[in-house]
Amino acid sequence: MDIRERNEKLRIIHQDGGEQENILEILIDLQFASEEGYIDEETAALVAQELHMTETRVYEIVSYYAMLKEKPQAKFVLKVCNSSPCHFSRSEEVILSLEKKLGVPIGKTTDDGLFAYHYIPCVGACDIGPVVKIKDTVFGSLDDDKISSLIDDLRNGEVVV
Ligand code: FES
């Protein structure tokens, strides 16, 4: 992981004091922030180091909770902002469009392993909501047609993120 990524993970780990008792919330936030929607080895090691725990204990927690993943969820994890401005610009319709297009509910991965999607908080692009973030790229002003095209383009390699 590069310095910027490491610093962002440290910020998440310490945002509520860096206490062991908050490890579940910390791991969920780290997973939401990750590119492929899972807790990788480096991240688990960083959590263990910062919270003064063993890596084994961190992995026990990751494997105990179904919402936490030890492997990539999908090649493309679409993160749908649901903070208030995007919510009012119909982020729920984005979720419905994704469910219709991909044929899997929120939090599940398509059979081909290409797509998964879930909600995240504000990504700082409120003026173009509703938005989806994929890795470092934000797609805004989305509607049913644009979402359908975006999925097709990602699948065909016509949009690179
Ligand atoms: S509320 Fe969605 S980007 Fe800010």
Q: Is the pLDDT of residue 81 over 90?
A: yes
Q: Is the pLDDT of residue 137 over 90?
A: yes
pLDDT band at 6 (very low <50, low <70, confident <90, very high): very high
45 marked ligand binding residue: no
Q: Is the pLDDT of residue 16 over 90?
A: no
pTM here?
0.78
List, in sequence order, every residue forming a beta bridge with 116; answer none if it has no partner: 77
User: Do residues 45 and 55 lie in contact, with contact meaning Cβ atoms separated by under 8 Å?
Assistant: yes
pLDDT band at 30 (very low <50, low <70, confident <90, very high): very high
pLDDT in tens, 99-109: 999 999 998 99
Q: How far is the CA of 45 from the centre of ligand 1 (A)?
A: 31
Q: Note the pLDDT of residue 41.
A: 93
The DSSP code for 28 is H
Could you tell me what percent of the chain has a pLDDT over 70?
Answer: 100
Q: Which of 61, 54, 45 is nearest to 13 (CA)?
A: 45
pLDDT band at 144 (very low <50, low <70, confident <90, very high): very high
Average pLDDT over residues 52-58: 96
Q: Note the pLDDT of residue 157.
A: 93
Q: Is the pLDDT of residue 138 over 90?
A: yes
Q: Is the pLDDT of residue 37 over 90?
A: no
26 marked ligand binding residue: no
Buried-exposed string 105-118: b where 16+ CB fall within 10 A, e elsewhere: eeebbbeeeebbbb
Q: Could you give the domains of the chain?
A: 3-64 (no CATH), 76-156 (3.40.30.10)
142 marked ligand binding residue: no
Could you tell me what percent of the chain has a pLDDT over 90?
Answer: 77
- Closest ligand 1 atom, residue 128 Cα: 3
